């Protein structure tokens, strides 16, 4: 006779013990029931609704809430929304937990209720208002991992294989330092190139790495933002591929690339950074943050950055790269444009006093200074033509080819074009003195051609 199990009461008991595989919502108390085989099959499939890391986190948060409820003498399934709000507020006020931690706790409580077919108490106004108020009270600023940028990578590569003295006073051997160092280098290189999360790095297998023309391609089978396992492919540079060759040592295709847990990888990155003199604050998230900053520094668009890092939302990459992004913002562009165009403080003051900032009046000494700073010998004279307060300058004599700053030349040409369109009749008078027309072609005397540079 087949044993029949899984009544409604048993579902609650399972949840109290931290069960995370979801069974069907409506389990009859009489009539047809699930057999042990049915339950095992459903648990095996439905247990993959969330990732392993999320499941462990939810279990931990749920056990903590159960312990709090037991002390209060209140029930957990179904939980009263006001009690859940009080629990979250206590964690913030008494234990100093951050809003992100409270959000995770609420997500765990809500998941366990939905898992049992019960209304989610965290959808109530009481809990939502508590979480919102916690964010406002604490502020959204949270401690962020230090970015393992290209400069930090160089420092780690230079020091990774040096012998270290551990906290117990032991000094590792040269052979052990070499083995540890080459693995640390491979870890940080791969995680930077592929912008890996530490959980993704821990799951990599050798069959996921493919070499092509000296570089590599890395298959990321599953990630936080790809729970269904569609997969993504990341580029690996030639030095990264070399570092992987150095640690494989005949490992099978189905073997783990680093052979370390997510926690061990994070600790090793922090130790490698500290040994390189980079200080504290580095973790398993640092390579991802550092590469995001490097890409932003080179002008990579946010959409391309999101694709490289497999972000679904622009919020986190924008947060990681805000220092690099602001360097290309409106104010930075304003000051950069003034410096790039060689505007002197005198001309800037004159332009401000005149109201309209005009690009056609350029301080010629600044153009020459910029050329001389680049090692050019600038010897020239200029002929200035002033009409109705505007000016347009072109070189009349050039003794050295290339002495005119290309940027200054372009600005003068733009000024002429604008003046032509603004007052074409007036410019007809000026063009005979400004255009490189030979006397023979024009039939006029006194025209001086403008030499081409």
Determine the Cα–Cα distance for residues 358 and 388; give it in Å rounded to an integer.
Answer: 14
What is the crossing angle of helices 52-72 and 99-115, to 10°?
A: 90
pLDDT at 142: 58
390-398/232-236 β-pairing: unpaired
Q: How far apart are CA 405 and CA 77, in angstroms?
A: 76
Contact 35, 2 (CB under 8 A): yes
Instruction: Output 227 or 383, whichever has higher pLDDT.
Output: 227
Q: Topology of 150-160+171-317 in CATH?
A: hpI Integrase; Chain A (1.10.443)
- Residue 135's pLDDT is 87
Residue (of 432, 435, 366, 443) closest to 405 by Cα position:
366
pLDDT in tens, 111-122: 999 888 899 999
pLDDT at 365: 38
Bridge-based pairing of strands 209-212 and 232-236 is unpaired
128 CB contacts (<8 Å, ≥6 apart)?
122
- pLDDT of 334 reads 81
Q: What is the DSSP letter of 181?
A: H
Q: Is 18 helix (H, G, I), strand (E, B) or coil?
A: coil
For residue 381, which phi and psi values (nearest 5 degrees)?
-125, 160
Give yes or no for residue 225 having a pLDDT over 80: no
Sequence-distant (≥ 6) Cβ neighbours of residue 5 within 8 angstroms: 33, 34, 35, 36, 39
State the residue for tokens 């502020």.
139
pLDDT: which is higher, 428 or 31? 428
19-23, 61-65, 252-256, range with the lowest pLDDT: 19-23
36-90 per-position pLDDT tens digit: 887 777 776 766 666 777 888 889 999 999 999 999 999 999 999 999 999 999 9
Task: Work out the angle between the directed axes of helices 150-159 and 286-297 (0-180°, nearest 10).
Answer: 130
CB 66 within 8 A of CB 76: yes
Q: Per-residue pLDDT tens for 147-171?
A: 999 999 999 999 999 999 888 888 9
Q: What average pLDDT does this structure show over 232-252?
A: 94
Calculate mean pLDDT across residues 187-205: 95
- Contacts of 445 by beta carbon, 8 Å cutoff, 6+ apart: 439
The percentage of the chain sitting over the pLDDT mark of 90, rounded to a whole number, equals: 43
Among 111-125, 256-270, 335-349, where is mean pLDDT lowest? 335-349
pLDDT at position 380 over 50 = no
* Nearest to 131, CA basis, from 85, 95, 64, 91: 85
Tokens of 255: 């073997």
Confidence of residue 356 (pLDDT cuts 50, 70, 90): very low
**What is the Cα–Cα distance from 198 to 181, expressed in whole angstroms?**
18
pLDDT of residue 204: 94
How close are the terminal C-alpha atoms of the chain, in Å?
100
Of 35-39, 289-293, 419-423, 443-447, which range is least confident?
443-447
Cα 151 to Cα 290: distance, rounded to the nearest angstrom = 10
Bridge partners of 165?
A: 171
Q: Residues 220, 232: contact at Cβ < 8 Å? A: yes
136 token code pair: 């406002």
pLDDT tens for 285-343 read 999 999 999 999 998 988 999 999 999 888 888 888 888 888 878 888 788 777 644 44
Number of residues in the chain: 453
Average pLDDT, the chain: 75
- Domain map (residue ranges) of the chain: 4-138, 150-160+171-317, 334-442
Is residue 108's pLDDT more than 90? yes
Tell me how far apart the alpha carbons of residues 1 and 421 are, in angstroms, rounded to a whole number. Answer: 98
What secondary structure, in 3-state letters, does 196-254 show?
CCHHHHHHCEHHHEEEECCEEEEEECCECCECCCCCEEEEECHHHHHHHHHHHCCCCCC
49 alpha carbon, distance to own chain's centre: 27
Query: Which pLDDT belongs to residue 224?
Result: 77
User: Residue range 395-415: average pLDDT?
Assistant: 47
Is 415:360 a contact under the CB 8 Å cutoff?
yes
* Longest Cα–Cα distance in the chain: 119
Q: What is the average pLDDT across 363-369?
A: 39
Q: Coil, helix or strand for 390?
A: strand
CB neighbours (10 Å) of residue 87? 22
Name the architecture of domain 4-138.
Orthogonal Bundle (1.10)
Q: Among 187, 320, 305, which residue's Cα sits nearest to residue 243? A: 187
**What percentage of the chain exceeds 70 in pLDDT?**
65
Q: What one-character DSSP code corresponds to residue 434?
A: H
Contact in structure between 215 and 233 (CB atoms under 8 Å):
no
Q: Which two tokens stand for residue 32?
A: 């047809």
pLDDT of residue 416: 63
């Amino acid at each position: 006779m087949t044993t029949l199990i899984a009544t409604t009461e048993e579902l609650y008991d399972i949840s109290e013990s931290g069960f995370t595989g979801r069974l069907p919502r409506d389990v009859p108390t009489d009539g047809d029931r699930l057999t042990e085989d049915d339950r095992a099959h459903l648990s095996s499939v439905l247990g993959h609704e969330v990732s392993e890391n999320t499941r462990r986190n939810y279990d931990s948060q749920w056990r903590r809430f159960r312990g709090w409820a037991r002390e209060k003498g209140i029930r957990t399934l179904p939980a009263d929304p006001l009690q859940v709000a009080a629990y979250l507020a206590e964690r913030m006020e008494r234990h100093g937990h951050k809003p992100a931690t409270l959000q995770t706790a609420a997500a765990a409580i809500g998941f366990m209720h939905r898992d049992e077919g019960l209304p989610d108490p965290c959808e109530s106004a009481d809990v939502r208002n508590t979480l919102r108020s916690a964010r406002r009270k604490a502020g959204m600023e949270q401690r962020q991992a230090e970015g393992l940028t290209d400069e930090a990578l160089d420092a780690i590569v230079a020091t990774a294989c040096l012998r270290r003295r551990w906290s117990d006073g032991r000094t590792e051997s040269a052979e052990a330092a070499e083995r540890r160092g080459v693995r640390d280098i491979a870890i940080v290189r791969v995680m930077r190139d592929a912008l890996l999360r530490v959980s993704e790095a821990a799951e990599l297998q050798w069959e996921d790495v493919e070499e092509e023309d000296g570089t590599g391609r890395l298959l990321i089978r599953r990630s936080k933002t790809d729970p269904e396992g569609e997969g993504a492919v990341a580029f690996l540079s030639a030095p990264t591929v070399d570092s992987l060759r150095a640690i494989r040592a005949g490992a099978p295709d189905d073997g783990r690339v680093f052979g370390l847990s997510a926690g061990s990888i994070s600790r090793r990155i922090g130790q490698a950074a500290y040994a390189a003199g980079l200080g504290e604050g580095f973790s398993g998230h640092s390579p991802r943050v550092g590469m995001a900053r490097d890409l932003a520094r080179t002008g990579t668009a946010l959409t391309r950055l999101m694709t490289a890092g497999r972000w679904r939302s622009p919020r986190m990459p924008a947060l990681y790269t805000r220092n690099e992004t602001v360097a290309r913002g409106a104010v930075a562009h304003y000051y950069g444009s003034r410096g790039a165009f060689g505007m002197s403080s005198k001309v800037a003051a004159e332009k401000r006093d005149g109201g309209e900032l005009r690009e056609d009046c350029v301080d010629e000494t600044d153009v020459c200074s910029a050329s001389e700073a680049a090692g050019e010998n600038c010897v020239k004279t200029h002929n200035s033509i002033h009409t109705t307060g505007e000016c347009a300058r072109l070189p009349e004599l050039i003794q050295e080819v290339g002495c005119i700053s290309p940027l200054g030349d372009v600005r003068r040409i733009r000024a002429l074009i604008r003046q032509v369109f603004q007052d074409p009749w007036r410019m007809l008078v000026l063009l005979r003195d400004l255009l490189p027309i030979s006397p023979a072609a024009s039939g006029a005397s006194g025209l001086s051609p403008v030499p081409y540079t």
